[in-house]
Amino acid sequence: MSQVFEGYERQYCELSANLSKKITSAGLLDGEQKKQKVSEIKGGLEDADGLIRKMDLEARSLTPNAKATLLVKLREYKTDLNNLKAEVKRITSANANQAARDELLESGMADTMMASADQRTRLLMSTERLNQSTERIRESRKTMLETEELGVSILQDLHQQRQSLLHAHNTLHGVDDNISRSKKILTNMSRRMSRNKWIIGTVITVLVMAIILILYFKLTH
């Protein structure tokens, strides 16, 4: 939730509770004292209107999910403010006589103020529930982001492992080629050695036979 909105919200709740007390006390006054108290209450109502407008502007500047949650709370605050205005209008009515005021204070005003107090209690409870829901949404979003980051990290690791495997495969393929070439070279060397062995053997045999012939001719002559 927006910290700016929460600041306005606290100011409004405090101002609403203060105005409710002043309205109750103003209903018990007469004459100039009542006028001064009503004037003071009207100034407070103007301040409350200003806070409602600020909360409305702040709520509409947020993301859709946060905005929807805050606008629900804002409608309840607007209803509360309208009730306060209605109470002020009733106690300032010029046509109400003293008996009607007494009766209103004894019954209607008491009931209205009790209902208003109950409504404010419900507003606070609703606010708490909405705050809890917002916190759960924030935690769910945090978990989703962490899961997404983990998924990206796993995909990157898998890609790196795939590249390593491809590199190892290419290396093994190169080793196989080198082994094949080495085998061919060794085979050719073996063949050459065998051929050279036969050639040397033949040369030695011829030399031995030539020496034998030379010795034979020398001995016979």
How sure is the predictor about 51, in pLDDT bands with cuts at 50, 70 and 90? very high
Model-wide pTM > 0.85: no
Domains for the chain: give ranges and CATH numbers: 1-104 (1.20.58.400)
* Pair 48, 81: CB distance under 8 Å: yes
Burial 140-156 (b: 16+ CB within 10 A, else e): eeeeeeeeeeeeeeeee
CA distance 153 to 159: 10
Sign of CA dihedral 146, 152, 158, 160: negative
Q: pLDDT per residue over 54-109, tens digit each?
A: 999 999 999 999 899 999 999 999 999 999 999 999 988 843 555 455 554 455 55
Please tell me the predicted confidence (pLDDT) of residue 103. 56
* Pair 38, 88: CB distance under 8 Å: yes
Q: pLDDT per residue over 103-154, tens digit each?
A: 544 555 555 566 567 787 788 887 888 778 778 868 867 877 787 888 777 7
